[in-house]
Amino acid sequence: MVQNLGKYERQLWQEAEFGESATARTAAYRRFILDLYHAQPVAGYAWLHGLKQGRMVHVGTVDAPVTNGDVKQIVAEFRKAVGTGKDAPSTKGVDLLGWDFAFELNEVARQDAEKAGIDLRLVRIPREVLEKRAVEQGDIRFFELAALSVGRKKTGRKVTLALEDFVIPLDDVPADVQKAVTHWSQWIDYWAVDWDNKGDAFHNEWQAYRTRKSTNLTLTVEHEYDEPGEYSVVVKVIDILGNDTTKALQLKVTGRA
């Protein structure tokens, strides 16, 4: 529901800012995002919209998450673009800008891109883009998605999840914050689990977070399923910068409790 509210808010913003004509509105929206990202627009491509420091840039739509199918199209077009014309990339890199990303896209997309010899960055378009004052003041900052590692153990219908690593891009992290972090878990402010996701919105069924009194964060959680079966588990992490990272796990639960 929250994701849908964000989508509708962005759709209304796009119409108000860039006009009613769908084609012109989309083109103006992409130029606006590229300008905020300090990238130059390019022409002649369907999936590649800009160029920044030798890397191609894709701008995701306001009303749909970036999917692995999108990434495959981008990778295919990029391979055709290399070495062709003035708008061709000078490095084998693509920055993929998106408002939302499909579950597990981070890892799957990177793997697909690596097979094609492409360095892929998944970058979140910040909500501050919608705020005119923030744009005018130049307060827009784009963050690359972090990478989350989750271990799992099964005993009968009991499942234990453990956060094992969390890597956050450090480009936009202040130096004093970096120095204060001595263990990867300190990047995490909060994490939650949806034990039986049906492919829809994330359902918070368990959570752990830091407080002023308790700064230590538990990194494991145990859950017992009522029935054997195949379950899609989604883990969501909110880092200390306010960005969220999700990871999907497929579990086959068998046996007795």
Q: Which tens digits make up the pLDDT trace of 199-221?
A: 778 899 999 998 888 778 999 99
> For position 2, what pLDDT does the model report?
41
| Domain 2-144 matches domain 147-253 at the CATH topology level | no
Rounded Cα distance, 29 and 19, in Å: 10
Angle at 154 between CA 149 and CA 155, to 5 degrees: 155
Q: What is the mean pLDDT of residues 10-15?
A: 90
**Which distant-in-sequence residues (6+ apart) come within 8 Å of 59 by Cβ?**
29, 30, 33, 34, 49, 50, 97, 125
Domain ranges, ordered by start, for the chain: 2-144, 147-253
Termini Cα distance of the chain: 33
How many whole angstroms separate alpha carbon 18 and alpha carbon 34? 14
> Among the listed ranges 85-89, 101-105, 135-139, which one has the minimum average pLDDT value?
85-89
Question: In this predicted structure, what is the pLDDT of residue 62?
Answer: 92
Question: Are 161 and 193 contacting, i.e. CB atoms less than 8 angstroms apart?
Answer: yes
Tell me which DSSP letter residue 66 carries: B
In the DSSP assignment, the letter for residue 129 is G
Helix (H) or strand (E) holding 138: none
Q: List the one residue out of 142, 148, 195 whose CA is nearest residue 171.
A: 142
Residue 111 in this model has a pLDDT that exceeds 90: no
High-pLDDT (> 90) share of the chain, %: 42
Question: What's the pLDDT at 103?
Answer: 66
Q: Which fold has domain 147-253?
A: Immunoglobulin-like (2.60.40)
Architecture of the domain delimited by 2-144: 3-Layer(aba) Sandwich (3.40)
Quick check: 98 pLDDT over 90? yes
Q: Is the per-residue pLDDT at 88 higher than 70? A: no
Residue 105 has pLDDT above 80, yes or no: no
Q: Are strands 220-224 and 158-167 parallel, antiparallel or unpaired?
A: antiparallel
pLDDT at 37 over 60: yes
